[in-house]
Structure 1
């Protein structure tokens, strides 16, 4: 039986912890907390990101988290808590579920995504497009 993307998201949200933008903002700057922006780099250039968030494109996350993979990123080893987010909490729900399935229990995702963060008036850090800087 086929499932819709929304069904997969709903199933993920049933087992993955979600935190509100206000709860997430209280975690900014805390030791051991890593915010992970899953959006495409062009989204970051256009809209900015949560301050100090690490960019991890959705298509690379599992590879970057896996210590046995040649693409592994050490930042994930050092994090006590991962706060995943994307634009609207769809990609982050699926990503958080994937990390839970990989045995990571320290993961949650941002309810409403970056859109909710922005709409709550929380701080946004600009992300410079290096290609525009070279052209300018």
Structure 2
């Protein structure tokens, strides 16, 4: 058995490994990110809001009514329409999904991951839950 060397994965055509800021910039270039009011309208039109914040933040700040709560480490398994562990809300690859984290960083990476699973309409909320709340949109304790 041969051992693989441990080291950074360098993207094809790159001079070196990406830093998180460059990765985030590249991911966001492919997303049609939405404002809080656009996310609200998307949900009203049948889109799915997915809250990936961890429990302590949800307990502290509240919840978005109607949003599906899925811990980040379960997201791909719960949203893959072909997956054996999918949530009932994961109805198809054409579903509009708006991923929401606390401030809009982790959600961009999560939305890009969902796109890799074929969810072409996955995106995220600019500014995350904090922007949603600041916009005066519904929040429950």
Out of 48, 69, 72, the residue aligned to residue 55 of structure 1 is 69
Written as runs of structure 1 = structure 2, the 5 A alignment for 1:36-115 is 36-77=50-91, 80-115=95-130
Distance 2:33 2:116 in 1: 16
Task: Report the counterpart of residue 13 of structure 1 in structure 2.
Answer: 28
Identify the structure with the greater helix proportion: 1
Q: Which runs of 5+ in 1 are unaligned?
A: 127-136
> C-alpha displacement at 1:120, in angstroms?
1.5
Task: Report the counterpart of residue 10 of structure 2 in structure 1.
Answer: none
Higher mean alpha-carbon deviation, 56-65 vs 73-82, is at: 73-82
Runs of at least 4 residues of structure 1 off by over 6 A?
Answer: none
Larger Rg: 2
Distance 2:50 2:56 in 1: 16
Distance 2:84 2:21 in 1: 32
Identify the structure with the greater strand proportion: 1
Task: Report the counterpart of residue 133 of structure 1 in structure 2.
Answer: none
Q: Relative contact order, CA 8 A, sep 6+: which one is greater? A: 1
Deviations 1:44-91 (Å, cap 9, x if unpaired)?
111012211110111111111234544222211267311111011111
